[in-house]
Amino acid sequence: MTVYEKLQELKIELPVPAAPVAAFVPTVRTGNLLFVSGHIAKREGQSWAGQLGNGISVDQGRKAARSAAVDLLATLHHELGGLAHVKRIVKLLCFVNSAPQFTEQHLVANGASELLQDVFGKDGLHARSAIGVAQLPLGACVELEVVAEVA
Amino acid sequence: MTVYEKLQELKIELPVPAAPVAAFVPTVRTGNLLFVSGHIAKREGQSWAGQLGNGISVDQGRKAARSAAVDLLATLHHELGGLAHVKRIVKLLCFVNSAPQFTEQHLVANGASELLQDVFGKDGLHARSAIGVAQLPLGACVELEVVAEVA
Amino acid sequence: MTVYEKLQELKIELPVPAAPVAAFVPTVRTGNLLFVSGHIAKREGQSWAGQLGNGISVDQGRKAARSAAVDLLATLHHELGGLAHVKRIVKLLCFVNSAPQFTEQHLVANGASELLQDVFGKDGLHARSAIGVAQLPLGACVELEVVAEVA
């Protein structure tokens, strides 16, 4: 099954990537590594704003992380000219907008990690860190950045 | 125009890099990648202390980010033996010391991103994440880390 | 002296690495780079919970960072089939769970940086960033992630 068949099976439609809202580019390739810019979680095209432990539940956070991962796939698809060029998701860094007492950043990040594995199989298995940050651009509840191996 | 002529045009003088204040080195090269240690924003040689959304304005934050990027260029110049060895700024991670309600980390980070593009042109275009952190070493308002492709 | 003799001299016993508690893997290798997942500080097998500047002292934080670095060595040993495969510790990112006024993240991170240099000598000298985060998974006081050059 190709990655695109898998996306279809999961009923995931890749959105058109939004242009960065600031002075940077979506991805930079160096050798076989692709560094992907931070993707904030969005809902209906706007920042998915809020804070875990303060109005956003773990389940909502997981969905936001999954949604940001879908946007990230759309960026990879668009920048590489197809997801078949992704050889491996190497590293995921998941920033979770966290109230002072919220300590389940890893569960939120799973929303992204599981999507990447659902889509890429074992090539989607990645190293990861999940951390709780004080705030994120546009108040987003989650932001993801990725390093991928590409061909 | 060389990078140094560009710096002159921008009236930017590269400072002498400060030695790390702790048990690490300014940069490590592996293959063609150079990983650059976190650079906190400084003013008159001291930490540019403060928090965005709590005494430091977006405009001040941008200036602090730009200033940290200049220090980072000084480190690259010193470590590589010249900025001509920088082939591409690959990735910028911008940590913004943020009050709980401050959500314009991306605008602060632009201070660094725009400087890098002013100096390196299209080779300065980078992937980027900007996040709001709870605090930074020595109370700095901004910290930057970079991955560069070098030759 | 081999790395293992050095560990013995330092009276450090490598623990059996814990499996990730979420949907990711401990390390991913791409080319000669190994990206290592975030390791939270632990004590007696549990998260070393707490916040710097709010119940956890700098000295405790240093010890927690050192302890997380030992766990990270255990992961490297286990994943690579031996620490002799580590050519260089390239980059350390140290997340410090920080109360709003705590500004000595760099001193906490030294607990990890110094351990890496004690064990690997000059090959343990790394680029580094240390930042203060709002929270960490399971309430840990410190989390470390590393990029290493391997052979």
DSSP conformation class of B85: G
Q: What local confidence, expressed as pLDDT, does residue B62 receive?
A: 98
Which residues of C fall within a CB distance of 8 Å from A32? Answer: 30-31
C-alpha distances out from residue A88 to A26, A67, C31, Å? 18, 20, 12
- Whether the pLDDT of residue B22 is over 90: the answer is no
% of chain C residues with pLDDT over 90: 95
- Whether the pLDDT of residue C22 is over 80: the answer is no
Q: What local confidence, expressed as pLDDT, does residue A22 receive?
A: 77
Q: What local confidence, expressed as pLDDT, does residue A130 receive?
A: 98
Say how many CB pairs under 8 Å bridge A and B: 94
Q: What local confidence, expressed as pLDDT, does residue B18 receive?
A: 84
The chain B residues in contact with chain C (CB within 8 A) are 20-28, 30-31, 33, 35-38, 49, 93, 95, 133-139, 143, 145
Mean pLDDT for all residues in chain C = 96
- Whether the pLDDT of residue A21 is over 80: the answer is no
Q: What is the CA radius of gyration of chain B?
A: 14
- At C23, is the pLDDT very low, low, confident or very high (cuts 50, 70, 90)? confident
Q: Which residue of C92, C97, C98, C106 to mutate against B (max B Cβ within 10 Å)?
A: C106
Token reading at B99: 């009050």
Token reading at B12: 């930017």
Q: What local confidence, expressed as pLDDT, does residue B68 receive?
A: 98
Residue showing tokens 């405009």: B59
B85-97: per-residue pLDDT in tens? 999 999 999 999 9
Helices marked H in chain C: 3-9, 58-80, 105-120
Average pLDDT over residues A4-19: 93
C-alpha distances out from residue C18 to A47, A138, C2, Å? 36, 36, 25
Angle made by CA atoms C126, C128, C130, in degrees to the nearest 5: 150
- Whether the pLDDT of residue A19 is over 90: the answer is no
Residue showing tokens 């706007």: A46
Closest CA relative to residue B18, chosen from B50, B41, B1, B34: B41
Q: What local confidence, expressed as pLDDT, does residue A52 receive?
A: 98
User: Using the beta-carbon criterion (under 8 Å), do A25 and B125 form an inter-chain contact?
Assistant: yes
- Whether the pLDDT of residue C116 is over 90: the answer is yes
A79-131: per-residue pLDDT in tens? 999 999 999 999 999 999 999 999 999 999 999 999 999 999 999 999 999 99
- At A73, is the pLDDT very low, low, confident or very high (cuts 50, 70, 90)? very high
Q: At what angle do helices B58-80 and B105-120 cross, to 10 degrees?
A: 40
Q: What local confidence, expressed as pLDDT, does residue C99 receive?
A: 98
Average pLDDT over residues C141-151: 98
Per-position b or e across A34-67, b if 16+ CB within 10 A of its CB: bbbbbbbbbeeeebbbbbbbeebebebbbbbbbb
The chain C residues in contact with chain B (CB within 8 A) are 31-33, 88, 90-93, 98-107, 109-110, 113-114, 117, 125-134, 147, 149
Average pLDDT over residues A52-58: 97
Q: What local confidence, expressed as pLDDT, does residue C140 receive?
A: 98
Tell whether pTM > 0.95.
Answer: yes
C46-66: per-residue pLDDT in tens? 999 999 999 999 999 999 999
- Whether the pLDDT of residue B24 is over 90: the answer is yes
The residue count of chain C comes to: 151
Between CA A136 and CA B67 the distance in angstroms is 22
The chain A residues in contact with chain C (CB within 8 A) are 31-33, 88-93, 98-107, 109-110, 113-114, 117, 125-134, 147, 149
User: Using the beta-carbon criterion (under 8 Å), do A128 and C30 form an inter-chain contact?
Assistant: no
- At C32, is the pLDDT very low, low, confident or very high (cuts 50, 70, 90)? very high
DSSP conformation class of C15: P
Half-sphere exposure for B87 (CA within 13 Å, toward CB): 10
Between CA B135 and CA B133 the distance in angstroms is 6
- Whether the pLDDT of residue C21 is over 80: the answer is no
Q: What local confidence, expressed as pLDDT, does residue B106 receive?
A: 97
C84-96: per-residue pLDDT in tens? 999 999 999 999 9
B56-110: per-residue pLDDT in tens? 999 999 999 999 999 999 999 999 999 999 999 999 999 999 999 999 999 999 9
User: Using the beta-carbon criterion (under 8 Å), do A113 and C138 form an inter-chain contact?
Assistant: no
Q: Which residue among C28, C137, C138 places its CB closest to the CB of A126?
A: C28
Q: At what angle do helices C105-120 and C58-80 cross, to 10 degrees?
A: 40
Closest CA relative to residue C146, chosen from C29, C10, C5: C29
Between CA C51 and CA C82 the distance in angstroms is 34
Closest CA relative to residue A52, chosen from A110, A8, A101: A101
- Whether the pLDDT of residue B19 is over 90: the answer is no
Mean pLDDT for all residues in chain B = 96
User: Using the beta-carbon criterion (under 8 Å), do B127 and A28 form an inter-chain contact?
Assistant: yes
Give the ipTM of the model, two decimals please: 0.96
Instruction: Give the pairing type, strands A46-47 and A27-30.
Output: unpaired
